[in-house]
Amino acid sequence: MENLSHLDLLLLNENQLKKKSISKENFSVLNLLKLIDDRESFNSDFFMYHFESTLIAFYERIKDNTRFNLYKEIIKKHLEFQISEKTIEDIKKELIKLLEQEFGSKDSQDFIIKKLI
Amino acid sequence: MHTEIASEIIEYLHQKFPHSSIALAGSVANGTYKKNSDIDLLFINEHINNSYSISFNYKDIPISIFSFQKGIFHTHNYTFLYNYHNMPIAYIYNAKIIYDSEKIIFDLKNKIEEVFEKREILKSPFISELKENIENLLSLNTQTYYEKKKVVYRIINTMISIFFLKRHNRGALVKTEAHDPFSVIKNKDFELYNILKECLPFHDRTYQMIKEVYYNYFSLNY
């Protein structure tokens, strides 16, 4: 984005922020993908723990939602074994698919808005 | 480049919303930013009643604007008291105020000091409560590999909260510490750090190891 004027409408009217906020599930997927991209900024001894605990939180969020039936089965299968580099690669592919199919590609969004707490 | 872009956005927001409170947060505020760092800003306006994050790219730099509701520390008091990974506290406490004519961010910083005071006063009962949570988790009859993993990760997260209550209860963690609490644990309790390193990520012996660590080391030292 090169023009800050797009911010005006969002900050002027909270209804716009509410309307354009992404779901918690969408945010969790983006968060997981960012975790993988920012891997080097984590203590390498504990990155797998960070990733896996975040993945568990995401799985628990979606496990009762039939919208994500296909993905939750795949994620659950990985969580039933010790995590490995292959797990991270496979999960990354599934998350990208999920993002595109359920939430639309990130590239098409100028703003990502999340309602906090 | 980051400081120039941050100034540009801040001045733009101030011009459009002259009564709003605006601060610079994160690594750009404390001068530790790198080439690929985000620019984090606080924007607080009386007309926004909930808390939001707004992320976008501007001139190829990722920007995050955090808008917190004025009463955030009233409505979520309990969460802030013993949760070590606390984004609003970290951002607000360490933020550099740029515009704050209504003293909103100034007041929020004072509220955070009150949270730290309460933590100090209440840390013993909090730690007892969190230890009881761990003992309840350890007494669960977990059967599957996944259930054991889930319980262990909850226990470790609780142990980290207890660590910070006991050893680091004043001051807000900076973003890097909150994302990686183990770097702080390594400096203050090397033994605990090494134990956790052996246990993680979850493997076949982790559940039993965490149980032993808790009863033979952690519950005695914390």
| CA–CA dist A101, B171 (Å, integer) | 42
pLDDT in tens, chain B (222 residues): 899 999 999 999 999 999 999 999 988 998 888 888 899 999 999 889 999 999 999 999 999 999 988 788 776 666 777 777 777 888 898 899 999 999 999 999 999 898 888 888 888 999 999 999 999 999 999 889 999 999 999 999 999 999 988 987 666 677 777 778 898 899 999 999 999 999 999 999 999 999 999 999 999 999
| Chain B contact for A10 (CB, 8 A cutoff) | yes
Asked if A55 contacts A35 with a C-beta cutoff of 8 angstroms, the reply is: no
Q: Do A114 and B48 touch (CB under 8 A)?
A: no
> CA of A84: which chain B residue's CA is closest?
B201
- Residue B97: per-residue pLDDT: 97
The pLDDT tens digits for A11-21 are: 998 999 999 99
Pairing assessment for the beta strands B52-58 and B39-44 based on DSSP bridges: unpaired
Question: Residue B52: its chain A contacts at CB < 8 A?
Answer: 17, 21, 113-116
pLDDT of residue A33: 95
Enter the tokens of residue B168: 């680091």
Q: Which residues of B touch A114 (CB under 8 A)?
A: 52-53, 55
Q: ipTM above 0.85?
A: yes
* Degrees to nearest 5, angle at CA B117 with B100 and B122: 145
pTM: 0.88
pLDDT (0 to 100) of residue B89: 84
Written as one letter, the residue type at B42 is: L
**B-chain residues near A22 (CB < 8 A):** none
> Phi and psi (nearest 5°) for B191?
-65, -45
**DSSP per-residue letters across B87-126:** HHHHHHHT-EEEE-TT-HHHHHHHHHHHHHHHHHHHHHHH
Measured between CA atoms, how close is A67 to chain B, in angstroms? 22
Does the pLDDT value for residue A95 go beyond 90?
A: yes
pLDDT single digits (tens) B109-119: 999 898 888 88
B45 closest CB neighbour out of A7, A11, A50: A11
Q: Are B2 and B33 in contact (CB under 8 A)?
A: yes
Chain B residue with Cα closest to A27: B53
A53 shares contact with chain B (CB less than 8 Å): yes
Contact status of A73 with chain B (Cβ, < 8 Å): no
d(CA B193, CA B191): 5
Note the pLDDT of residue B75.
Answer: 65
Could you give the CA distance from residue B29 to residue B6 in angstroms, rounded to a whole number?
A: 10
